[in-house]
Amino acid sequence: MLDYTKADWTKRASGLTMRHQAFINGKFVDAASGETFQSINPATDAVLADVASCDLEDVNRAVASGRAAFEAGIWSRTDPAHRKAVLLKLADLIRENLEEFALLDSLDMGKLVTDAATIDAPGSAHFFQWYAEAIDKIYDEVAPTGPGDLAIVARVPLGVVGAVTPWNFPLDMATWKAAAALAAGNSVVLKPAEQSPLSALRLAELAVEAGVPDGVFNVVPGFGHTAGQALGLHMDVDCLAFTGSTLIGKKFMEYSGQSNLKQIWPETGGKSPNLVFADCENLDAAADMAAFGIFFNQGEVCSANSRLYVERSIKDEFVEKLVARAAGMQPGDPLDPASKMGAIVDRKQTEGVMKFVEAGKQTANLVAGGEQVHVDGKGCFVLPTIFDDVSHDDALARDEIFGPVLSVIPFDAEEDAIRMANDSVYGLAASVWTDNLSRALRVSDRLMAGTVSVNTVDALSAMTPFGGMKQSGFGRDLSLHSFDKYTALKTTWIKYAP
Ligand code: NAD
């Protein structure tokens, strides 16, 4: 697969079957209303599928089937070794269908098929495997009460977990939620983003093939204000894991207050700073990763390093290096392995990105890109764009653009860099480039971010928690800490004759 040409990928894409119905209680079904919405390939404007548009009635059906499965104990009360075996099988099935998953995400939201085949799809298999392997290695606690009392503090599954996910990493965002929630013994009702529902539907189908019982993993494609809101307000959903914008994360907090006080775990937006100090010896490596940190996945990454603070003495040299790298990362057909950047997810997002770019042309110094383009006369593409000498107060440096747009801001003193980096409503990630160990530790310590990467960008693994501070939300995906979201602590206190 990794030696496929553009012609190979295109041929395989044309033979792909798209699951387009909702997946409820182990079966594909139409939305109760019969309504559908179009899933569109942003690289070609072609309609991929008419997808079931779920609303309250479908969410009710999905939650009821999740609840029934939970109460029946067919998953929630099974031997951990059984759940482990089933989820390991699911990881294998994802690997067996890697090519299909890569194509589904690439066609649905415009990312490079090569990235989807080497990063997203293998990542999904890895995360399922990681959580499967964890299931029978987690122990509960006995409190130090003393003779005559035995207090067992156990982690128990919550019941029905709702998950609402974004479109930038469709398969992986679904996986981050579902793998840990299922491993813990919950039932899951997942609402994928309306821009990219296809891979989640296939994932749920494979979960049943792997042995996840009917009703335990449901997928309700649909819009935010219908299916998403219905899940958020549902009286029988115990927990809602959300990844998406800060605006909608706040809405979910309201939904919880208006309904059953379900736990809400928001993982929201970002405007991550990347700090490059003059004492960083390998400026070429720093420039490579700074470019990757903003142009990978078309900049549609919550933790994208979109603010670049460079020490003034090396700023011009560094910007020159970045401009050269941007020139080598022009967008192209996402199915062509030679392309370096794919399509923006849809027209609305492209228009939003271009609004920032046009406004930026009046306030900052455009040194690369700055244009919307077509590939083969079609689609939504934006050139890798760099603005130099951006004012720290400009919208370019403040707002999440969620596109391939980098804002470069010079600094003179370490203290200034830290102050500007922290002066944001977001706190998802940050990067620091320096060869001075004391500075690396001192600056990392001061940066308000869920993950600080030193001499790299966007460090991430199944082993470490991923999530933010401030208005980037407080939910954490990945690592064993993710189980905190999907389990409750339950004390069972037993009196006995000592
Ligand atoms: P979004 O907030 O518009 O949508 C996210 C999900 O919420 C979608 O499934 C959508 O249908 C649903 N939704 C929208 N309106 C809703 C409503 N009124 N009620 C209920 N549900 C609703 O975000 P997006 O445009 O899909 O994704 C981009 C955002 O996601 C960016 O802000 C990005 O930073 C963020 N993101 C964060 C992380 C993280 O881990 N922190 C990861 C990826 C993306």
Domain boundary assignment for the chain: 6-269+484-490, 273-457
Residue nearest to atom 30 of ligand 1 (CA): 244
The alpha carbon of 224 and the centre of ligand 1 are apart by a number of angstroms equal to 9
What's residue 2's pLDDT?
78
> What distance in Å separates the CA atoms of residue 231 and residue 60, rounded to the nearest whole number?
8
Alpha-carbon Rg for the chain in angstroms: 23
DSSP SS3 for 36: strand
Contact by Cβ (8 Å): 25, 218:
yes
- HSE toward the beta carbon, residue 378, CA cutoff 13 A: 11
Asked whether the predicted pLDDT for residue 1 surpasses 90, the reply is no
Backbone angles phi, psi at 307, to 5 degrees: -115, 120
CATH topology of domain 273-457: Aldehyde Dehydrogenase; Chain A, domain 2 (3.40.309)
430-477: per-residue pLDDT in tens? 999 999 999 999 999 999 999 999 999 999 999 999 999 999 999 999
Which atom of ligand 1 is found nearest the CA of 248?
2
Which numeric CATH code is attached to 6-269+484-490? 3.40.605.10
The alpha carbon of 370 and the centre of ligand 1 are apart by a number of angstroms equal to 25
> What distance in Å separates the CA atoms of residue 269 and residue 287, rounded to the nearest whole number?
24
- DSSP labels for 41-101? -TTT--EEEEEE---HHHHHHHHHHHHHHHHHTTTTTS-HHHHHHHHHHHHHHHHHTHHHH
232-283: per-residue pLDDT in tens? 999 999 999 999 999 999 999 999 999 999 999 999 999 999 999 999 999 9
What's residue 418's pLDDT?
98
Give me the chain's average pLDDT, please: 98
Question: What would the 3-class secondary structure string for 405-416 be?
Answer: EEEEEEECCHHH
The alpha carbon of 77 and the centre of ligand 1 are apart by a number of angstroms equal to 32
198-216: per-residue pLDDT in tens? 999 999 999 999 999 999 9
The residue to mutate among 172, 240, 248, having the most atoms of ligand 1 within 8 angstroms of its beta carbon, is 248
> What distance in Å separates the CA atoms of residue 106 and residue 245, rounded to the nearest whole number?
22
Contact by Cβ (8 Å): 316, 322:
no
C-alpha dist (Å) from residue 144 to 39, 149, 150, 151, 154: 56, 9, 8, 8, 14
Contact by Cβ (8 Å): 25, 61:
yes
Closest CA to 9 of 95, 71, 98, 99: 99
pTM of the model: 0.98
Which atom of ligand 1 is found nearest the CA of 222?
11
Q: Which residues, in sequence order, are CB contacts of 317 under 8 Å at separation 6+?
A: 283
Catalytic residues: 267, 302
The alpha carbon of 452 and the centre of ligand 1 are apart by a number of angstroms equal to 23
Query: Using the 8-state DSSP alphabet, how is residue 331 labeled?
Result: B
Q: Which residues line ligand 1 (CB under 6 A)?
A: 164-168, 191, 193-194, 223-225, 228-229, 232, 243-245, 248, 251, 267-270, 302, 400, 402, 428, 468, 472-473
Here the tokens at position 434 are 């320096």
Contact by Cβ (8 Å): 374, 381:
yes
Residue nearest to atom 43 of ligand 1 (CA): 302
What's residue 375's pLDDT?
97
What's residue 215's pLDDT?
98
Beta bridge partners of 265: 241
| Mean pLDDT to the nearest integer, 285-289 | 98
The alpha carbon of 356 and the centre of ligand 1 are apart by a number of angstroms equal to 19
What's residue 488's pLDDT?
98
